[in-house]
Amino acid sequence: MFFADIAGQTEVKERIQRMANEERIPHALLFLGNEGSGNLATAVTFAQYVFCTNKQNAEPCNQCASCQKVNKLAHPDLHFVYPIASSKDVRLSEHLIRDFREAFLANPLMNQQDWFNELSAENKQPTIAAEESNNIIKKLSYTSYEGGYKFMIIWQPEKMNASAANKLLKILEEPPDQTIFILVCHHAEQLLTTILSRTQLVKFGLASDDEIAELFHRKYGLSDQLARYCAGMAEGNQREALLIAKEQDSHVAQLAHFQNFMRGALNFNVFKINPWIEQTAALGREKQKYFLQYGLQLLRECLLLNSGGETLVKARNEELDFLKKFSAFVHMGNYERIVEEFNKAYYHIERNANPKILFMDMSLTMNELLNSKKPA
């Protein structure tokens, strides 16, 4: 990972880069920031930067052996502690390291809820128990594998119970050699004040809309306009902005899929409809059902538009542009039958109908319906 993959936080990045470059890293840091501030991702990138043997322009190289290990969250001197729902077989964070790696690598901006969902802990409240603190002592008593620093990243230290917190405090009072603790925390008010006073505070602010938009444009290739929209909606929360971008992406794709079907059906053209049918058949049943549901939703919006209820339309901008034109083909004379077609298709898809035959039939019927005259 690169520091540049995290939106904003310029001051924080400069400060910790300086610590690493000057080799003056405090033994305990508190990375305090809201969810979506990227404080966990920054902690990992910081460790990567310190370990990196070929630092470049204040970034890790992302290629050396150390970087590669960190990128898999498998560096032997990089340890993690996080809340878990303990059971007979799972008593320590390390018992769930595979799940943690998978979750973090899929989304380095994951929040507490994302992780808890991963744990499928049902009604259990995940915590960091005292046993974990004993394990920290054990782990850090070995010398580092690679001869340099050892990092212990404790994510959500606010989930420590009292005895775990007190044990951690003892460790922070007499830290093992060459060890750096990073407490990645969202709610400092839930931490023991004695722990707070043993750590050096690194406070994460909110990324600005411009910073998030710039990152999304650069890293994910989002258009300037869409990047700004996502940033504006997320109010400085980078995780949230990413979710909005993904949702937008799938919705733009859905709309295009619907448009292509209706265009192919309207002027029934085998060369247009066949590739569409092939593509849709390959999507699988759940996505086919989703397409039909989405279509039903757009058809309802057409009806609203036609009855002069534009303000009721919940569609987004691109949808509205399309619906203003498409609604001319939907009227009281065909609306019910079109809806019936969609519902019928949904029913048959659920019962394993052959999607190629089904959508071919449907497009022929749609051709007839869309071209039927509006009743006078």
| Crossing angle (nearest 10°) for helices 270-283 and 355-370 | 140
**57-65, 90-98, 224-232, 333-341 -> range binding Zn ion (CB under 5 A):** 57-65
Distances (CA, A) of 343 to 163, 291, 292, 335, 339: 58, 11, 8, 12, 6
The residue type found at 374 is K
User: Is residue 59 a contact point for Zn ion (CB under 5 A)?
Assistant: no
Binding string, 263-302, against Zn ion, x = CB under 5 A? Answer: ----------------------------------------
Question: Quick one: which of 52, 129, 231, 366 contacts Zn ion (CB under 5 A)?
Answer: 52
Q: Which is nearer to Zn ion, 21 or 54 (CB)?
A: 54
Listed ranges 29-37, 66-74, 127-135, 147-155: which one lies at the site for Zn ion (CB under 5 A): 66-74
- Give the nearest distance from C-beta 65 to Zn ion in angstroms: 8
Adjacent-strand bridge partners of 127:
84
**Interacting residues of 189 by C-beta distance below 8 A, sequence separation 6+:** none
For Zn ion, which residue of 4, 58, 64, 320 counts as binding (CB under 5 A)?
A: 64
Contact between 58 and Zn ion by CB under 5 A: the answer reads no
Helix axes 285-306, 335-350, angle to 10 degrees: 170
Closer residue to Zn ion (CB): 61 or 281: 61
Taking contact as CB under 5 A, which single stretch among the options 46-54, 91-99, 194-202, 366-374 is the one that binds Zn ion?
A: 46-54
Q: Of 65 and 256, which has the nearer Cβ to Zn ion?
A: 65
61 contacts Zn ion (rule: CB under 5 A): yes
Confirm if 126 and 116 have CB atoms less than 8 A apart: yes
Q: What is the DSSP letter of 208?
A: P
Q: Is 67 in the site for Zn ion (CB under 5 A)?
A: yes
Question: Of the two residues 55 and 186, which places its CB atom closer to Zn ion in the complex?
Answer: 55
Closer to Zn ion at the Cβ: 63 or 269?
63
In the bound state with Zn ion, the residue whose beta carbon lies nearer, of 56 and 143, is 56
> With binding defined as CB under 5 A, does residue 46 bind Zn ion?
no
Nearer to Zn ion, 64 or 266 (CB): 64
Q: 303 with 330: CB under 8 angstroms?
A: yes
Stretch that binds Zn ion, among 63-71, 164-172, 317-325, 350-358 (CB under 5 A): 63-71
CB of 146 to Zn ion, least distance (A): 12
Q: How far is the CB of 62 from Zn ion (least distance, A)?
A: 6
- Record the tokens describing residue 85, joined without a space: 């729902």
How far apart, in whole angstroms, are the C-alpha atoms of residue 157 and residue 143?
Answer: 24
Phi, psi at 199, each rounded to 5°:
-120, 155
Q: How far is the CB of 4 from Zn ion (least distance, A)?
A: 15
| CA-wise closest residue to 115 among 169, 179, 35 | 35
Shortest Cβ distance from residue 178 to Zn ion (Å)? Answer: 19
Q: Of 19, 146, 29, whose CA–CA distance to 77 is shortest?
A: 146
Considering only 62-70, 79-87, 165-173, 248-256, which stretch makes contact with Zn ion by CB under 5 A?
62-70
Q: How far is the CB of 67 from Zn ion (least distance, A)?
A: 3
H/E element holding 153? strand 150-155
Q: Which residues contact 192 (CB under 8 A, 6 or more apart)?
A: 165, 166, 169
Shortest distance in whole angstroms from residue 50 CB to Zn ion = 10
The H-assigned helical ranges of the chain are 10-21, 39-51, 65-71, 97-106, 112-119, 130-141, 162-173, 193-197, 209-220, 224-234, 238-266, 270-283, 285-306, 317-326, 335-350, 355-370
Least Å from the CB of residue 74 to Zn ion:
14
Q: Is 60 in the site for Zn ion (CB under 5 A)?
A: yes
Does 47 contact Zn ion by CB under 5 A? Answer: no
Pick the closer one to Zn ion by CB: 56 or 371.
56
If phi over 0 gives left and psi between -120 and 50 gives alpha, with beta otherwise, what is residue 156?
left
Residues that bind Zn ion (CB under 5 A): 52, 54, 60-61, 64, 67
